Amino acid sequence: MTPATSRWAWASGHLEVTNIVLALPVAEVRAMLPPSLTLAPQSLTPPGTHPVVLMFGQHSHVRPWFLPFGAGSSYHEWIVATPLLEWRRGAMVRPCSYMSRLYLNSLVMVVGGWLYGYPKKLSSSTVTPASYNVRTFPGGAPLVTMTNAPAGPAVPFTDLPGEARLALFFEQPFYQRLGPFPWLASRMWFALGTATAQPMTAQFSITGGCAPGLEAMSATVGSIADGIPGAFHLSCDWTLSRMFPAGDAPPGLDGPNPPQ
């Protein structure tokens, strides 16, 4: 993992995340996106659909660049992420991903995410190896529930069936806008080369309105080894870039590794 003192690395940490990859109708996915974002051509899901990833994450050893190694914090983070998009401004077109909602149980990390244009909200959560529950805070109303079970052994991510296609979900910069503020670009480099992954089965239920444009849904999802929709667990380190004005994002933001 790139040291957090690198000029490109403003934070670093470790992520344990169960990913549920869905193939939703394009009309529903477009309803989740703000103006300036359009669906890019893709072949991961059937025509008339587009992938959306529900990420049930646990972060640890998270630290900004100015803290020493060994320092850091831990928190839970549930994300609705849409990959394989295009951000457009006039003749400018940039490939990207977009997170329409993030729920965290850490106020510090919520506020820190706002600086990047990430639409983070404070929540409460209960997480076990086999379940993940997100509730409003305050109030405790249920937002998301998920249970999961292994559907195969943990392997290097590079040995996961379809890993080259799945890697696309983790290899694009985020283009985000919070309220009336300008569009910002950032990149989280996931260390997929040293990551481990495990096929999973999962059941989930989402309350309508917990993310913009996302309708209430419940489903049972099989292993990602059998295709999309599918679930898998990912264990990896990550490095987060600084934020850039979207129109001035440097080419290095699209690269496979942080520029040295």
Length of the chain measured in residues: 260
Q: What is the pLDDT along the chain (260 residues), one digit of tens a residue?
A: 444 445 667 899 999 999 999 999 999 999 999 999 999 999 999 999 999 999 999 999 998 876 655 567 999 999 999 999 999 999 999 999 999 999 999 999 999 999 999 999 999 999 999 999 999 999 999 999 999 999 999 999 999 999 999 999 999 999 999 999 999 999 999 999 999 999 999 999 999 999 999 999 999 999 999 999 999 999 999 999 999 999 999 888 888 877 76
What's the whole-model pTM score? 0.95
Domain 11-254: assigned CATH number: 2.40.400.10
Of 7, 1, 27, 51, the closest CA to residue 167 belongs to 51
Taking CA atoms, 146 is separated from 56, 64, 97, 202, 241, in Å, by: 8, 30, 23, 7, 30
Domain residue ranges of the chain, discontinuous segments joined by +: 11-254
* CA–CA distance, 140 with 123 (Å, rounded to integer): 8
* CA–CA distance, 224 with 213 (Å, rounded to integer): 25
Of 16, 14, 235, 19, the closest CA to residue 148 belongs to 19
